[in-house]
């Protein structure tokens, strides 16, 4: 599953110099709402996935919903800093570049972004074996973001 992953620093600089990062008013209600949607989406898809047979390509949609939850949490986190970005790659670059202490894996975030694009734009389908490759790291990234957002909301 070799993919060409762009360099984090170059991507961050490109996003910055081309105006992909935008200032946005810090909106705690929007942060709460985005976080709630991400959490509800995960609860829903976890329940649904219990009935998906291993040989089904419906694992594609489990992956995509996990990705959307992850993306929503990244968006919510960036809002604490009054930042939004024009695309998923720039959002990933911002959070990884500005917050190395969170230990989010830039290459992994890019890999799942590219896989999601292959699903949405090229009609690629996933099997259970494909999903298993991504599941644990998706859950770890989601958990880290949820923890950080919860902490920031408590202190806001």
For the residues of 93-114, what is the DSSP string, one character each? HHHHHH-GGG---HHHHHHHHH
Among the listed residues 121, 127, 139, 4, the one whose alpha carbon sits nearest the alpha carbon of residue 54: 127
Instruction: Report d(CA 71, CA 88) in Å as an integer.
Output: 7
77-95: per-residue pLDDT in tens?
A: 999 999 999 999 999 999 9
Q: Residue 4: what pLDDT?
A: 83
Q: Residue 20: what pLDDT?
A: 97
Residues in the chain: 156
36-89: per-residue pLDDT in tens?
A: 999 999 999 999 999 999 999 999 999 999 999 999 999 999 999 999 999 999
Helix spans in the chain (H):
8-17, 28-49, 59-79, 88-98, 106-122, 128-154
- Between vectors from CA 64 to CA 125 and to CA 41, what angle results, nearest 5°? 145
Rounded to 5 degrees, φ, ψ at 85 are -135, 155
Number of C-beta neighbours around residue 1 at 10 A:
8
Among the listed residues 58, 57, 49, the one whose alpha carbon sits nearest the alpha carbon of residue 139: 49
């Amino acid at each position: 599953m070799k993919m060409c992953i762009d360099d984090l620093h170059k991507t961050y600089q490109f996003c910055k110099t081309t105006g992909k990062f935008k200032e946005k008013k810090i909106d705690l209600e929007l942060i709460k709402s985005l976080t709630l949607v991400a959490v509800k989406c995960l609860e829903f898809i976890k329940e649904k996935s219990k009935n998906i047979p291993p040989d089904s390509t419906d694992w594609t949609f489990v992956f995509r919903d996990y990705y959307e939850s992850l993306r929503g949490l990244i968006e919510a986190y960036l809002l604490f800093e009054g930042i939004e970005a024009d695309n998923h790659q720039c959002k990933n670059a911002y959070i990884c570049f500005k917050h190395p202490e969170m230990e989010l894996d830039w290459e992994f975030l890019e890999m799942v972004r590219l896989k999601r694009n292959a699903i949405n734009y090229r009609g690629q389908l996933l099997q259970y074996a494909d999903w298993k490759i991504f599941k644990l790291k998706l859950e770890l990234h989601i958990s880290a973001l949820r923890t950080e957002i919860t902490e920031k909301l408590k202190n806001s």
